[in-house]
Each structure stands twice: as structure tokens, then as C-alpha cells.
Amino acid sequence: MTRRSRILVSARRAAILFALVAYATATFAQQKDLSPEKRAAINKTVSDFMAANSVPGIAAAVVLQSELVWSAGYGMADLENYVPATSATLFRLASISKPITATAVLQLAERGKLDLDAPVQKYCPAFPQKEAPITTRELLGHLGGIRHYNKDGKGDIPDDSAKHFATMEESLQIFSSDPLVATPGAKFSYSTYGYTLVGCVLEGAAAQKFTDYVRENIVRPAAMAHTQADDVFAVISHRARWYHKNDSGAVQNAGVLDSSYKIPGGGLISSADDMAHFAAAMLADKLVSRTSRDLLWSSQKTTDGTPTNYGMGWGTANKHSLALVGHTGSQQGASTALTLVPSLNSAVVVLVNMDGIDAYKLADEILKITLDLKD
């Protein structure tokens, strides 16, 4: 990935970073159901992970019995200004924006405002007809045939780009004229651009701007008070800075990113506390009905019957003899993971302000400690 405008972190700041790894700055939510021994084990696991990966800052949270029981921040949200990370620090969500978007879409389907199996042009007429109809159900499961980013960068905005897109329809212009990569339904093909199209569909069905609908129907009901679009022009309290590790291992500022072209699929910011509240609301069926939740969390299949291990905005897996759902995310200055265990009404959130980090690995380690799981 090409990167511009890097600023190397000084040796002094690096020393402060690693001191903070040993003495994690933490803000704790309710801890009524997480023992001191487990909290200590999680603290050590996070600190070891940070030291091994030169991570500036991490926030994590645990949900048990559909309630936030523990959250903490570690290291630094901002190295240049020595701002500690807390569980209220706002990190880029990257692709764990997708479960939020998918949940909002299923709400509209429940309310009779959106037909998941209608051609997308019913709600988003700005998107041109393709060689085959595409449905919202297919888009949510990455079965719509919409391309992802081009590996050679041609036809895309640059990796490090400050180009701003004012509307969802304007964002469609990046990919809307391109041919499909597969017949809709025939092949799982991961696409963040597909979720930009989902955002256009949502706006048409709701007759409301994407961010407004999500704020009113997901953020407020789930008590996610600070979750919002990662607006590069807005002054947003508690927003982290973003970091990248170069080929020599030095920590740098990450490249510029205006994510306005992909808000539904990777353009939201949130805190560990907020994302834990989202997970808790999902586990308690507060945002959609159990029937809709089952649709979100059930693997779709290609037209030949092959399971994709991806529902609607949520990945599905079996691990530790348990059915898991969730998502991971990665973009400039961000690595994220959200893992839910529906059968145990439990969840783990991990947010990192550095790209190229295996946040899922850390989330899984925290999950094992929390639930006394074995490999």
C-alpha cells in the first residue's frame, strides 16, 4: 500500500509507548461478572500483544449475559500529544462498520420499507442496470458481483486519498460503470464497494441520509453515544490518531484517508464501550427481531449450494466447539475485531489504532480467557 506524509515517531516517544505497555492506562466499565484473575490475565495478554507488535493503542471490551462487564484502554491514542487510549477513545471501525449497516437494513426490511430480493434500482436508481439483476440480500452477503478494490489501483481513488465524496450517489461513480466480477449469487466476492451500494439502497428505502438513519435507529437505541462517520473535516472529541509500521519496523503516522466513499462498509468510528453496547443489543434482540437476527447470522449459499460462511454483514464460524459470528476490519491506521458467541450471550471487541495488526487473534485470546475456552 502506498503511503504519503509519514512522520517518524521519536525514540523518546517510542520509549514512552513501551513503558505504557507495561502499565496499561485503563478505564473500566462495570466488572461485576469478570473476576480479578481474568482481568489480570487479559491485561497481561494485551500488554504482551502490544509489545510484540509495537502497537500504539488498544481498546477492548467484554460482554457477558448481554451486558458490558469490562472494558479498558491501553497505551496511547495519540503519540505526538501523549494522549492515553481509553475505552471511550474513538477508533476507526474499518469493516466492522458492515454489521452495523446490515442490521440497519434488516430493520427496514422488518418495517416493510425494503424488499431484500428486489433489484437494487428500486431504491437506488442512480446505480445503472447490469447484465443481471442484483438484490440487497446478495450485496449484504458479498454475492452481488460488485468488485472490490483493484489490486493495481487503476480505476480507484488512491490508497492514501483526501478526495471527499459529498453523497452516496457520488461515491457510486468509482465503480458503477464497471462490469460485474461474477453473476449475482454465483460467487462470494468480498466488496466494500458493494456496501456503498447498500448505503444508497438504505437511503432510498428510508428516505433519509444514511448517517441520520443509523444514528436514530442503531446508535441511539443501542446506547452507542459517540459512534459516527469518520468525518475528516469535523472536530471530534476523543478520536484517536492513526499509525502504520514501515518495512523497517518504525512506527509512523498512517496515510491520509477520507473514507466518505465507503461509510457503510468501512467509514464509521466508535469506541470499545459503544461497540460492546452494540453487541449486547444484538444479543438481546433490541435492534431487530430474532427472525431477522437469524438471517443476519446464518451463512448464505451460492447458487450451486456452497456455503459462504458469511450471512448478511456478519461472518460465521465454528471454533472452540461454539458457533461464532462477527467481523474483522483493516484500513489505514486501524485493525479491528468483533466476535460474538450467541449461545452464551457473550462478545469481545478489540480496536487498534494501527494497520496490519491481527486484532482477531487478540480478540480470540480474550474470549478464551473470559469463557475458559481451550484451543
**CATH number of 216's domain:** 3.40.710.10
Specify whether 174 is located in the same domain as 149.
Answer: yes
Specify whether 16 is located in the same domain as 72.
Answer: yes
Distance separating alpha carbons of residues 11 and 8, to the nearest angstrom:
9
Listed residue (353, 348, 329) closest to 91, CA to CA: 353
Specify whether 104 is located in the same domain as 218.
Answer: yes
> What per-residue confidence (pLDDT) applies to 3?
42
Specify whether 371 is located in the same domain as 293.
Answer: no
Specify whether 98 is located in the same domain as 22.
Answer: no
Specify whether 166 is located in the same domain as 296.
Answer: yes
> What per-residue confidence (pLDDT) applies to 25?
42
- Helices 11-22 and 36-53: crossing angle in degrees, nearest 10, is 160
Is residue 246 assigned to a domain? no
Specify whether 60 is located in the same domain as 184.
Answer: no
> What per-residue confidence (pLDDT) applies to 23?
38
Q: Is the dihedral of CA 271, 277, 282, 287 positive or negative?
A: negative
59 touches 113 (CB < 8 A): no
Is residue 181 assigned to a domain? yes
307 touches 318 (CB < 8 A): no
Is residue 337 assigned to a domain? no
Residue 337: burial class (beta carbons within 10 Å; 0-12, 13-18, 19+): buried
- Domain count of the fold of the chain: 2
Specify whether 57 is located in the same domain as 105.
Answer: no
Specify whether 79 is located in the same domain as 123.
Answer: no
Distance separating alpha carbons of residues 52 and 292, to the nearest angstrom:
40
Specify whether 111 is located in the same domain as 84.
Answer: no
C-alpha cell at 235: 472536530
Is residue 279 assigned to a domain? no
pLDDT (tens digit per residue) in 185-202: 999 999 999 999 999 999
Q: Is the dihedral of CA 64, 343, 287, 98 positive or negative?
A: positive
pLDDT (tens digit per residue) in 237-295: 999 999 999 999 999 999 999 999 999 999 999 999 999 999 999 999 999 999 999 99
Specify whether 211 is located in the same domain as 122.
Answer: yes
Going from the first residue of the chain to its last (375 residues), give the mean pLDDT of each consecutive group of 10, the final group possibly shorter. Answer: 39 40 41 83 98 98 97 98 98 98 98 98 98 97 95 67 92 95 98 98 98 98 98 97 95 95 98 98 98 98 98 97 97 97 98 98 98 88
Averaged pLDDT of the chain: 91
> What per-residue confidence (pLDDT) applies to 302?
98
271 touches 68 (CB < 8 A): no
> What per-residue confidence (pLDDT) applies to 203?
98
> What per-residue confidence (pLDDT) applies to 68?
97
Expressed as residue numbers, the domain containing 46 is 1-89+353-375
Distance separating alpha carbons of residues 348 and 359, to the nearest angstrom:
11
Q: What is the DSSP letter of 252?
A: E
Specify whether 300 is located in the same domain as 204.
Answer: yes
Is residue 360 assigned to a domain? yes
Is residue 138 assigned to a domain? yes
Note the pTM of the prediction, 2 decimals.
0.91
